[in-house]
Structure 1
Amino acid sequence: MNYRRITEKIANYLTPTEAYTFVCLAFKSDWETYESNVKQQTIVEYINKHAYTGKDRTSQATVSRHLSEFERHGLLTKKSTDHFGKLGYFIKNKYQLETEHYVFIDEALVKLPIPNELKGFLILVKCRCLNNTNFCGYSSYRRLSEVLNIGKTTVGKYLKQAIDLG
């Protein structure tokens, strides 16, 4: 599948960069159950594969921080299990993403040649659109900045960037 259900709740808690990481994790999850056994390094590689510039590249420490934020806000649950294999002891994490009250995000967004932070902003805006539409009826930058908890100047910067990039 080329789309995933993303809980609208992310717009209450996440920054654009965190929202983008959340969507990338969703694309590395089972499309029906939204469970994932993905390694953090695999998420890093997926994000970096679609990075617009070197500035958009991410690290495992950043992904780990983002996963902690998702868990803290109830956007996912994590279960860790101990494993012993040929190479020794390791911990395996299983993530279950929250999908209640969701919007659909197409994987084509991940692949767009635009900055990851802008992708995350567009994801957050989509979470604030009217049900099953791409209509976001906020009449000002100020109002949109309030509902997204992002500064008005930053909202203006992202909107200008989105328009400039088409």
Structure 2
Amino acid sequence: MRTLIGAALAAAGLTLVPMSAASAAEIGPSTQGAASSATVSDVLKAYPGSRQVAPDKVAADGFSVTVQTSGHLSSAAVERMGAAPRCDYGHLCLFVNGLTYDFYECETTRVLGWYGASYFINNQTPGTVASFYNEDYSLRWTSTAYEEGTFDATPIGSVKPC
């Protein structure tokens, strides 16, 4: 489902490693200042009850979303470099369309505008199963901690970390 929110969220960039570690072909368009604020606003609208806790971060019940402002790193680039982005122990982290989703509570969350190749780190307690659902709420796939890699976010509709 490509929504207006999805299009705005896709315009944000995601930095996972220093620019010198990736080629220009692996880094997408950069966004600065006002574009970042607009994207944070869109994240706030997408998740009612969420709140802005930093210039680039929104907190909601059970998860946070960080808007990256300096460039989007493709999931293929992450794999080629052999360096995964950071994800705290006990968390499920998803890097989708220039946004970092950090899930830390066991609640099903509806997501909007997810599509394309993305990266995940399931750094929860060993054996914890995260479930990913299609837009119609049917199970799409699962990940058992510890696991990391790429996934196709089209058309993920909701996530349950455990």
- TM-score, normalised to structure 2, is 0.31
TM-score normalised to structure 1 length? 0.30
* Structure having the larger proportion of residues in helix: 1
The structure number with the bigger radius of gyration is 1
